[in-house]
A = this chain, B = another copy of it.
């Protein structure tokens, strides 16, 4: 009973931290602002997460857990010899994940070059597995193209959703609309894995 309460509070805090941090970045967000979003006292943050840094890591863990849940199994199942349609399906799911979680890409981009330790931790703990799966899935490409495909697809599939407010103001289309997501997925899939 008390444990359940504890977990739900921690979750509420991580959720608030994640959304706050992906709006303005780690350093720009105060623990008090996060606490206010989570509707708890500021002291409670340092109670559950010793430092702001630890809270950042908890937010990262949550983010990659979400990604794994959404595309992990599909991505691992598709190897270099898989039929193109399977690959296309995984790419479509990745686009959809980025549309539903624009904070994922923002979190990665906002983590700048300034903090070596956080960056290294992020690469080793979370980024490397994803890159390995992607490499395996796209193993049909020439090996030297893999990093380019990874970053090209990563950027191409995310920016339109992660720069949401700018996108609708600029192009008039609504990046949250189902039709937009669908069209973006189709557009990219056709580029990367032609039928």
Contact A113 to B152, CB < 8 A, known contacts A108-B166, A144-B183, A147-B171:
no
A74 within 8 Å of B by Cβ?
no
**Contact status A152-B160, CB under 8 Å:** yes
Question: How many interface residues does A have (CB within 8 Å)?
Answer: 56
Q: Which residue of B lies closest to A158 (CB)?
A: B155
Q: Kindly identify, within residues 112 to 164 of chain A, every residue whose CB is under 8 Å from any CB belonging to chain B.
A: 112-114, 119-120, 122-123, 127-128, 131, 144-160, 162-164
Find the residue from A152, A153, A169 having the highest chain B CB count within 10 A.
Answer: A152
**Contact status A164-B113, CB under 8 Å:** yes
**Contact status A152-B191, CB under 8 Å:** yes
Assembly CA distance A141 to B109 (angstroms) = 30
A46 within 8 Å of B by Cβ?
no
Q: Kindly identify, within residues 80 to 112 of chain A, every residue whose CB is under 8 Å from any CB belonging to chain B.
A: 106, 108-112
Q: Kindly identify, within residues 177 to 195 of chain A, every residue whose CB is under 8 Å from any CB belonging to chain B.
A: 183-184, 187-188, 191-192
Assembly CA distance A42 to B7 (angstroms) = 45
Assembly CA distance A109 to B170 (angstroms) = 14
Q: Which residue of B lies closest to A109 (CB)?
A: B109
Assembly CA distance A63 to B23 (angstroms) = 22
A173 within 8 Å of B by Cβ?
yes
Q: Which residue of B lies closest to A149 (CB)?
A: B187
Shortest distance between the CB of A10 and any CB in chain B (Å): 25
Q: Which residue of B lies closest to A167 (CB)?
A: B151
A39 within 8 Å of B by Cβ?
no
A-B complex: 4 closest residue pairs judged by Cβ atoms: A155-B155, A155-B159, A27-B28, A151-B160
